[in-house]
């Protein structure tokens, strides 16, 4: 079950949240929420953009740990500016005969 608390269309940045009011989706089971969203054609608690950014943050930490140093990330271009060695870690070579 998803309960939606007054967020959209109001922007969380410009709106004032009242006492006890939460401006976010609530889901206790994200897998069920995803399947229900598909079946009933309504937004999920964590949409594609949220999932992408959350996964990107985890991947950036992994890259930094593997290299043993800080990395600089451009979230708009989704690359490491001026660091070709690290940019090569963004994808791996496809197996033959597959190509993009």
Tokens at residue 6, please? 């007054």
Is 12 a domain residue? Answer: yes
Confidence grade of residue 89 (pLDDT, cut at 50, 70, 90):
confident
Query: pLDDT digits over 1-26, tens only?
Result: 333 444 444 455 566 667 777 666 66
Mean pLDDT of the 93-97 span: 88
HSE toward the beta carbon, residue 67, CA cutoff 13 A:
16
Tokens 């009242």 belong to 18
Domain count, the chain: 2
Kindly indicate the confidence band of residue 100, based on its pLDDT and cuts at 50, 70 and 90: confident
Task: For residue 19, tell me if it sits in a domain.
Answer: yes
Q: How far is CA 31 from CA 35, 44, 58, 61, in A?
A: 6, 10, 20, 25
pLDDT digits (tens, 9 = 90+) for 40-71: 998 888 778 878 888 999 999 999 999 999 99
Q: What is the pLDDT of residue 16?
A: 66
Give yes or no: residues 59 and 86 share one domain.
yes
Kindly state whether residues 11 and 34 are assigned to the same domain: yes
* Per-residue confidence (pLDDT) for residue 13, from 0 to 100: 57
Asked whether residue 59 is domain-assigned, the answer is: yes
> Is the pLDDT at 74 greater than 70, yes or no?
yes
Same domain, 83 and 57: yes
């Amino acid at each position: 079950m998803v309960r939606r608390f007054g967020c959209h269309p109001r922007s969380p940045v410009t709106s004032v949240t009242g006492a006890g009011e939460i401006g976010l989706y609530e889901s206790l089971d994200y897998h069920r929420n995803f399947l229900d969203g598909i079946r009933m054609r309504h937004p999920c608690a964590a949409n594609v953009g949220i999932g992408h950014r959350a996964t990107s943050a985890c991947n950036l930490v992994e890259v930094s740990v593997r290299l043993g140093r800080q990395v600089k990330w451009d979230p708009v271009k989704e690359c490491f500016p001026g660091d070709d060695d690290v940019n090569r870690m963004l994808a791996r070579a496809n197996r033959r005969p597959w190509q993009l």
